Amino acid sequence: MAPLRHFITGDFEKRTVFLPDKEYGLALDALVKGCADVLITSGAGPSLRILLGKRRVEPQPDWWFVGGRTRPGDTPAEGAARNVKRELGLALDPARFAAVGTYSFVWRLRAQAPATNGTADVSTVFELHLADDEAADLSPARFDAEEYADAAWTRPDAVLAGDYHPALQQAVRDLLARRAYGALRDAAADASAGAGAVAAAATAYVAWRESAPTDGCKVRFEDGAYVFVDPATGAAAPRPATGAAYWARWKLLADARGAAAPRWGLAVLGLAASTRWQPARFTVTRQHCATMKGTMASSSPEETEARKANKAAGDAAFADDDDDDDDDDDDDDDDEQMERAPMPWPTPRPTPAPRPATAPPTHRPTPRPAPRPAGPEEECFALQATHGVKPAMTWGTLDRNPSSFRRWKELGCGGVVERAANAAADAAADAAREVCPKSADPKPLIAVCSGTTTRQKGGWITPRPGHLEDLAAFQYLLPSFKRTAECGFRYLVVLAYDVGDQFWDRGDGVARARAWFEASIATPLAAANMDVELRFVKVDNAVKKPGPVFAAMTRAAYAAWKADYIYRVNDDTEFKTKWARPFVNALASMGNVGAVGPLCRQGNTAILTHDFTHRTHMDIFDGAYYPPELSDWWMDDWITGVYGSLRTLMGDRVEVIHHTGKHGQRYAVDFAHEKLVKQLIAAGHARVESFVAARDAPPPGNPPPSFRRFRLKSHGGFQRRRRLRAAGRDSVS
């Protein structure tokens, strides 16, 4: 690929702008996004590997590049470097990113509403080659679990032969062509290299350069596999086959005389430059849910004559070589170099026998839809099984089938499937719950504090009669609290809401919640000798932000109800494991001065998005859980950084799921607060140090098993939504 040239006219000032969801959706309708995507590689030759991530969300919930949207003013390489830093935490010089190609993408679906409006990108794909030690540090755990379901190092031949998006396969072919050109350039510049080495490098370069079609294609995803589509008719079609045509030509010449003649590669290079076979003679078809296989079509008499002519051209080249080889020792050396030169890889698959002329098309016909199950719930479970849906984790293949996707939404299948899963989990937890021993000794009080609101950007949420689980707190937070509560503690659940909330304040939400909590949570836990109580805090929240709500509920837990520990969570949090005793022990290892948090694979994994503290925390900061200057995202950054890494722990075996897709983002973010974080962390850390010094407290001990010290990697609150925005994607719900 020609080098990318970046032109700037005038003094351009870079700006950071956040678009609300509605405006961003309109922008996607009107504009084509500029993206910078990256093929991360390691190794060389047959040991070359490519790191791919399996994305969870539209527009490409499958194996894909690392990367995303670029910012105005960035060079493409700077955009690629920024995306790698955002997604993997690697801060690298943009000069290390080598351009592979520029590609145009049009997607049927997108994450932002309305999803079926789709989106369009123009992406420059780069190669980032890592040294072995750099690659060893790059594990799949680096990938954000909210955006990626998996990550893996993959061989290029596995990508080319496997069931991957053709755009990804195209980029890999172009990458290999670029690498082959580099080898040819190096061989030509090496004075010690013989003609055979240059010929071998030329052959490899032409093979890869010619193996990829120059035009794009149209595909759709059906039954777990990519199906190529004829743009004119919309019917399934064979895969474009230029690559198969070239590989067949290359193999024909190799078979004609082997790889011994020193100028054989040059003959192939000349032939490739002067002739272009008709790629339509070779087809690549998709078998039923299988990988793509190269097949050679049956030969016509004209094709047979063409192959004979090309074979004769190769023989003539070899004959000329034979005349020179009799008395030329240098050519013998070239022969040896040619024999040692590796053949371009991967080698093509064996050619199957020709199909009969009357054989039907080899593409898989679209299957007839199966009859729908009798009832809505049965249909939901059938859709889940067919498409591999895992609520709050992945859509599987559902969102690639528009009719099934619409049906899922019409039936409310997300709630149906999750309610069934929660019912099964509740039954298992009830059966396994231990009965706590009765004791007159006072038990520590843990306040589980969460804000809750029925306000959304599009209006108010009104739970249906008898369906409080329409609200996240009753679908995720409270049921999972019951499943994970353990003996040895008293519990106080604190829900805080805004004055004027349509359900909680103006409606009958508080009364309904109390009755539900008593029947569903308090009574079952009381049978196991666990004390739990539900309290509410009404907040005059003029700014409609989480900050005032968090401040009011934690202050009430600390001052009015004398909680020993405070666990600040969200109403869309789901507890996956027991947490009380591990967190209490972790704080004790630091003399109860510090913050601990669970593993959360959703959102920004560079910070604690849920935090558990002793009441000492409120003592240090004069009854304020977070600085009042912060009202939204950057509160998490502050609590992650204020104690320093020695007094900040994360529990790798204490996990929560943050179901951000249930209600979406429910407030506008004040980005001006990002500038305050660094100075507030510094001021807060000074208070912590003064508190510790005044008590003459010993330094923190070693973290308990399965806990690790956690350092604030960046002031990344802004990145948690921008990380998905940059790629044109959002979370799965």
pLDDT at 128: 96
What's the CA angle centered on 662, arms 461 and 596, to 5 degrees?
A: 120
- Percent composition of the chain: helix, strand, coil (DSSP 3-state, to 5): 40, 20, 40
Structure tokens at 690: 């003064």
Name the average pLDDT for the chain: 77
With beta carbons less than 8 A apart as the criterion, state whether 93 and 148 touch.
no
What's the residue count for the chain?
A: 733
Structure tokens at 509: 């939400």
Cα-based distances in Å from 603 to 147, 363, 399, 599, 722 = 8, 40, 21, 11, 10
Mean pLDDT over residues 648-652, rounded?
A: 94
Looking at domain 21-247, what is its CATH homologous superfamily?
Nucleoside Triphosphate Pyrophosphohydrolase (3.90.79.10)
Q: Of 169 and 2, which is predicted with more confidence?
A: 169
Helix (H, G, I), strand (E, B) or coil at 546: helix
Distances (CA, A) of 513 to 255, 395, 459: 78, 31, 21
Where do runs of H (alpha helix) occur along 489-559?
509-517, 523-526, 546-555
The 10 Å Cβ neighbour count of residue 345 is 16
**Does residue 433 contact residue 383 with C-beta atoms inside 8 Å?**
no
Q: Residue 270 contacts by C-beta under 8 Å, 6 or more apart in sequence?
A: none
pTM over 0.85: no
For the segment 396-425, the average pLDDT, to the nearest whole number, is 82
Position 210 confidence tier, pLDDT thresholds 50, 70, 90: low
Q: CA-to-CA distance for 126 and 175, rounded, in angstroms?
A: 9
pLDDT in tens, 62-75: 899 999 999 999 99
Q: Which residues pair with 100 in a beta bridge?
A: none
- What amino acid occupies position 125? V
Neighbours of 444 (CB within 10 A): 15
Mean of the pLDDT values across residues 342-367? Answer: 42
Helices (H), ranges, 230-287: 242-257, 264-274
What pLDDT is recorded for position 425? 79
Domain boundary assignment for the chain: 21-247, 376-383+389-423, 444-718
Helix, strand or coil, per DSSP, at residue 648: strand
CATH of domain 444-718: 3.90.550
The whole-angstrom separation of Cα 96 and Cα 61 is: 28
**CB 183 within 8 Å of CB 245:** no
Q: What is the distance of C-alpha 609 from the center of its chain?
A: 18
pLDDT digits (tens, 9 = 90+) for 514-560: 999 999 999 999 999 999 999 999 999 887 888 899 999 999 999 99
User: What pLDDT shows up at residue 392?
Assistant: 61
Structure tokens given for 429: 């937890």
State the pLDDT at residue 669. Answer: 58
pLDDT tens by residue, 51-100: 999 998 889 888 999 999 999 999 999 999 999 998 888 889 999 999 99
Residue type, 415: G
Q: In 115-165, where does DSSP find H-type helix? A: 132-136, 156-161
Residue 113: count of CB within 10 angstroms of its CB = 14
How far is the C-alpha of 456 from the C-alpha of 432, rounded, in Å? 38
Count Cβ atoms below 10 Å from residue 6 Cβ, excluding itself: 11
Q: Is 244 exposed, middle or buried (0-12, 13-18, 19+ CB in 10 A)?
A: buried
Work out the average pLDDT over 327-356: 40
Lookup: tokens for 330:
């240098």
What average pLDDT does this structure show over 383-400?
A: 80
Separation CA 572–CA 418 (nearest Å) = 13
* C-alpha triplet 569, 570, 571: angle, nearest 5°: 130
The span from the first CA to the last CA of the chain, in angstroms, equals 40
Does the fold of domain 444-718 match that of domain 21-247?
no
CA 566 to chain centre: 32
Tokens of 382: 């059938």
Structure tokens at 26: 């309109």
